[in-house]
Amino acid sequence: MDLKYFTLKEANSTLPLINSICLDGIKYWEKLKEVDSKLNVLLTKTLNGGEKDKDIVEKLTEEANISYDKLQEAAKELNDIGVFFLDPNDFTVGFATIINNQTTMFIYKYGEDNEINFYRNPNIPSELISVKTNEKI
């Protein structure tokens, strides 16, 4: 797949769809974390001499697999639009763009003002720049 480049206007216009996909993804990410926590509790009990409940472990493992698959589907949906899924913890996504003749990304975190506020500094990717003021955040 070729890299899709977005203008700020194009990227902002996709946000309703991005938010919908992210909302689904958040649901599955939260479920995955919840199931992982439950499995860790069961594992700790088992390691401390407790009885292993095979049925519960199988059920939780199945739930984890379903949630993982659904999360992967959400990431693929974003990818199909041309958007990068960067962080499942806060559902940060990136839109490839060109600023000052350099490839970089607009950065959007789910639920944040329903508009893109930042882009990555092409020379220092960990540094964010305001799209409104061009100043480092």
Specify the pTM.
Answer: 0.79
Residue 109, helix vs strand vs coil: strand
**How far is CA 114 from its chain centroid?**
16
Beta strands across the sheet bearing 92-99: 83-87, 92-99, 102-109, 118-120, 128-130
- Please, what are the averages of pLDDT over each run of 10 residues along the chain (137 residues)? 90 94 90 89 71 78 91 92 88 92 92 86 86 86
21 alpha-carbon distance from chain centroid: 10
pLDDT digits over 87-108, tens only? 878 889 999 999 989 999 999 9
The domain segmentation of the chain, as residue ranges, is 8-130
